[in-house]
Chains A and B, each alone.
Chain A
Amino acid sequence: MARKIGVYVCHCGSNIAGRVDCPEVARFAGGLKNVAVSRDYQFMCSDPGQDMIIKDIRERGLDRVVVASCSPRLHEKTFQKACARAGLNPYLMQHCCIREHCSWVTPDKDEATLKAKHIVEAAVLRVGRHKELHSREVGVLPDVMVVGAGIAGIQAALDIAKSGHRVILVEKSPSIGGHMAQFDKTFPTLDCAACISTPKMVAVAQEPNIELLTWTEVEDVSGFVGNYTVTVRRKARYVREDICTGCGACLEKCPTKVVSEFEEGLSTRRAIYRNSPQAVPSTPVIDRDHCKMLTKGKCGACQKTCPTGAIDFTMQDRREVYHVGSVVLATGYDTMDPTPMREYGFGRYPEVYTALQFERLNNAVGPTGGKILMKSGEAPKSVAIIHCVGSRDRNYHEYCSRTCCMYALKYDHLIKDKVGHGCEVYNFYIDMRCFGKGYEEFYRRVQDEGVTFVRGRPAEVVQENGKLVVVGEDTLMGVHVRVPVDMVVLCTAMEARPDSTDVARIFGIAQGRDGFFLEEHPKLGPVSTASDGIYLAGTCQGPKDIPDAVAHASGGAAQALALAARGVVSISPTTSWINPDICVGCKVCIGLCPYSAIEFDERRHIAVINEAMCKGCGSCAGYCPSGAAQVKHFRQTQVFSEIDGMLDPLPDLLAPAAEISQTTAQA
């Protein structure tokens, strides 16, 4: 088995060369069997680096290539493409990692160099066993599904629809708009959230390319990039969307009052309800857990009132199936419930509010009609705003929620504006993080409005003589402070939705340790995921403010569109293969396959892989007692060779280089 292998060792500037003696590794590789050329270079991924490989393949007739540089997750495709440009099958290249797994984690230079040699030798031995593989192209379905219709999902759906592709927009709530629909003003410009989001919501409803499915949840996803089959459950609304005119007569007649989730528990709604008069769609929904007709079988007040006869108590949940090319996930965030933080008294003291509750107090269609009022009906004379509640806190969330500083400044301004300049406002902060466009300017403006900033996380909120007293330390002054106020607002952390684990499983993606969905790369792939054709948009990936969520969503939409516009996608050829000459027909692999991709050929009495359905997980290959089932590119001979290379007892580190290559050549 004579091969002509080219080995290319990358310095990655000083990232690798700082710890690994790259010229020495290249010299060592040059002495390995079948290696025709071995080089080291500053940056293999650069144009001159790739050209070096291409030139060698063309001029020296290399039939295998090994690149030792960063993680294959970063640049494997880069070098595969370079090989393809030179006319070499990309699967005859092995990319091995001597940066993330070697130079960056090994302090000792000699040890790092030895480890790099092992990694390179394993790759050289493995690549000798590689076989040509050809990826196949499959069509991409033109439709895109967007899950979640907050501002991110709306933006993604509108972007995609504008291109002419059909969008299926799924929302689990009765109406769209997400958290942004709860807000009053938005920082730093103070334009009202409704004024900027309502036109977008209406545009969604009127866009012919968007099929809007509210009160709907995704239950199952199967298939692969370009060809996903999504099963959704359309929850029974008990109001027929095709007949209802949204007049709202039913809402007044319903006798049952329920605490309103949309108003963050500050007021009640009826059992038949919609979040606001501006809700899109305007069709109400009946809460089946509270409706007297659905729970006890008597009432029907709404049905009697409805002028169009749209109320239908016999409605059932129904499942619908959609076939889409890709999915954009925009499932958003939740705010942390501060009840467990007993020191701040939320839930015990009536005048302690969460940020979202305060948002509703400010909202013109909120429980107080947009007036900042205490439960007594009077305006507060002093308000304390506590930043970082549950954020930047090891006991809750270590991360910064990125929005609280700015909305706290917005509240400062709104309190001064609505209650009057006599109202004292205290901000208890750790650091002010005003990083966006126009944010620092807004901070400056609010400071000039006479707001007090106290640096330090408060220890507790106590009630004394009918007042709330914020107890803490002003760390800039070095003094303990006790600030009596009428109202306390807690800037609660943004956190991943409680059901995000289920959502991640349904769509086959991962979560970060903070619970938010994990992107493919923290910097260069913030919208794509480990599953091809599943993209992220907005705060389901991490805390974001509105401009960032909208930009992220447009990014997700662009990725989905790129796939849909091209119309074809190449599918990795690294599927399983069952050698028909060896298979004994024991059928165990059929039961092991999670994708039902193995069928039994009764005539030949062997198992056969359906390559279109196989994803190359190797469940069959890991078991097969006769060794007939093998994953292409992870064949037994390939893995065995890699093991041999990794465990080759290399000679003493301090031996001269020439001797090393000689000994290895003999071995």
Chain B
Amino acid sequence: MNQDFEPAILAFVCNWCTYTAADLAGTSRMTQQPNVRLVRMMCTGMVDPKYVIKSLLSGADGVLISGCHPGDCHYQNGNYKARRRVRLLNEILSQFGIDRRRVRLTWVGASEGQEFAATVNNFINDLRELGPLDSRGLAAL
């Protein structure tokens, strides 16, 4: 693992579950590595694949998308739509040499502050192992 490498991570999180969980993690002072930047969305279903690609092009080493657990979506089924989109997006990104592990979709419910902190820390550690994103593949995008 490259300990000196500090990955930059963008997280698109839904307002109702994961953003609330991130608030809870903060209120409970659950220490996280500082590499993640949160972008609040109303629902993971509104995360356009373009946002993920744009993030990777702008220097993110990984993108986290996190919303409500299956069945708990505030908008009925936005998270299922996100799941399908991320799956397809990963098919495309891997064609361009981008490791699937760089775009991660997770479910973190509103009361799961601890899970949020763990998800963030695990993702950062995994990306440390993967190293910086090779931008040559991206040029083709």
Query: Which of A's residues lie within 8 Å of B, judged by CB?
Result: 71-73, 97, 99-102, 104-108, 111-112, 114-115, 118-119, 122, 501, 504-505, 508, 510-513, 518, 530-531, 574, 592, 594, 615-619, 621-623, 631, 634, 636, 639-640, 642-644, 646-647, 649
Q: Are B42 and A115 in contact (CB under 8 A)?
A: no
A639–B75 alpha-carbon span in the complex (Å): 20
Q: Are B22 and A115 in contact (CB under 8 A)?
A: no
Q: Are A639 and B39 in contact (CB under 8 A)?
A: yes
Residues of A within 8 A of B38 (CB): 97, 101
Given that A508-B74, A510-B72 are known contacts, is A105 also in contact with B59, CB under 8 Å in the complex?
A: no
Q: Are B26 and A631 in contact (CB under 8 A)?
A: no
A108–B33 alpha-carbon span in the complex (Å): 9
Q: Are B110 and A646 in contact (CB under 8 A)?
A: no
Residues of A within 8 A of B76 (CB): 594
A101–B46 alpha-carbon span in the complex (Å): 22
Q: Are B42 and A106 in contact (CB under 8 A)?
A: no
Given that A530-B16, A647-B58 are known contacts, is A617 also in contact with B45, CB under 8 Å in the complex?
A: yes
- Nearest Cβ in chain B — how far from A627, in angstroms? 8
Complex partner residue of B19 from A73, A119, A505, A617, CB under 8 angstroms: A73
25 contacts between A and B (CB under 8 A): A73-B23, A99-B26, A100-B23, A101-B22, A101-B26, A104-B27, A105-B30, A106-B32, A115-B37, A510-B110, A530-B16, A530-B110, A617-B74, A617-B78, A619-B81, A621-B46, A622-B45, A634-B41, A639-B51, A640-B51, A642-B39, A643-B39, A643-B55, A647-B55, A647-B58
- Nearest Cβ in chain A — how far from B141, in angstroms? 15
Residues of A within 8 A of B85 (CB): 622-623
Q: Are A622 and B34 in contact (CB under 8 A)?
A: no
Q: Which of B30-62 contact A (CB under 8 A)?
A: 30-32, 34, 37-43, 45-48, 50-51, 54-55, 58-60
- Nearest Cβ in chain A — how far from B9, in angstroms? 10
Residues of A within 8 A of B50 (CB): 636
- Nearest Cβ in chain A — how far from B107, in angstroms? 12
Residues of A within 8 A of B37 (CB): 115, 118-119, 122, 646-647
Q: What 4 A-B pairs are tightest by C-beta distance, nearest first?
A: A618-B46, A100-B26, A617-B75, A646-B37
- Identify 4 new A-B residue pairs, CB closer than 8 A, beyond the known A72-B40, A513-B111: A101-B38, A594-B78, A622-B82, A639-B51
Complex partner residue of B75 from A107, A510, A511, A615, CB under 8 angstroms: A615
A38–B89 alpha-carbon span in the complex (Å): 40
Q: Are B74 and A73 in contact (CB under 8 A)?
A: no
Q: Are B41 and A518 in contact (CB under 8 A)?
A: no
Given that A107-B31, A619-B78 are known contacts, is A631 also in contact with B42, CB under 8 Å in the complex?
A: yes
Residues of A within 8 A of B22 (CB): 100-101
Nearest-CB residue, chain A, relative to B63: A643
Q: Are A518 and B110 in contact (CB under 8 A)?
A: yes
Given that A101-B26, A518-B111, A647-B60 are known contacts, is A622 also in contact with B81, CB under 8 Å in the complex?
A: yes
Does B8 sit within 8 A of A, measured CB to CB?
A: yes
Q: Are A114 and B34 in contact (CB under 8 A)?
A: yes
Q: Are B10 and A646 in contact (CB under 8 A)?
A: yes
- Nearest Cβ in chain A — how far from B135, in angstroms? 13
Q: Are B59 and A621 in contact (CB under 8 A)?
A: no
A518–B47 alpha-carbon span in the complex (Å): 25
How many residues from B make CB contacts under 8 Å with A?
51
Complex partner residue of B111 from A97, A510, A642, CB under 8 angstroms: A510
Residues of A within 8 A of B97 (CB): none
A388–B23 alpha-carbon span in the complex (Å): 31
Does B112 sit within 8 A of A, measured CB to CB?
A: yes
Complex partner residue of A530 from B29, B46, B74, CB under 8 angstroms: B74
Q: Are B59 and A647 in contact (CB under 8 A)?
A: yes
Q: Which interface residue of B25, B71, B76, B117 has the most chain A CB atoms within 10 A?
A: B76
Q: Are B48 and A621 in contact (CB under 8 A)?
A: yes
- Nearest Cβ in chain B — how far from A20, in angstroms? 11
- Nearest Cβ in chain B — how far from A126, in angstroms? 9
Q: Are B16 and A510 in contact (CB under 8 A)?
A: yes
- Nearest Cβ in chain B — how far from A618, in angstroms? 2
Does B66 sit within 8 A of A, measured CB to CB?
A: no
Does B17 sit within 8 A of A, measured CB to CB?
A: yes
Does B77 sit within 8 A of A, measured CB to CB?
A: yes
Q: Which interface residue of B47, B48, B81 has the most chain A CB atoms within 10 A?
A: B48
Residues of A within 8 A of B43 (CB): 617-619
Residues of A within 8 A of B25 (CB): 100, 105
Nearest-CB residue, chain B, relative to A620: B46
Q: Are B26 and A618 in contact (CB under 8 A)?
A: no
- Nearest Cβ in chain B — how far from A364, in angstroms? 41
Q: Are B23 and A71 in contact (CB under 8 A)?
A: yes
Q: Are A617 and B42 in contact (CB under 8 A)?
A: yes
Nearest-CB residue, chain B, relative to A505: B71
Given that A72-B40, A510-B16 are known contacts, is A643 also in contact with B47, CB under 8 Å in the complex?
A: no
Q: Are A71 and B42 in contact (CB under 8 A)?
A: no
Complex partner residue of A513 from B54, B74, B112, B117, CB under 8 angstroms: B112
Nearest-CB residue, chain B, relative to A624: B48
Q: Are B42 and A634 in contact (CB under 8 A)?
A: yes
Residues of B within 8 A of A647 (CB): 8, 10, 37, 55, 58-60
Q: Are A619 and B75 in contact (CB under 8 A)?
A: yes
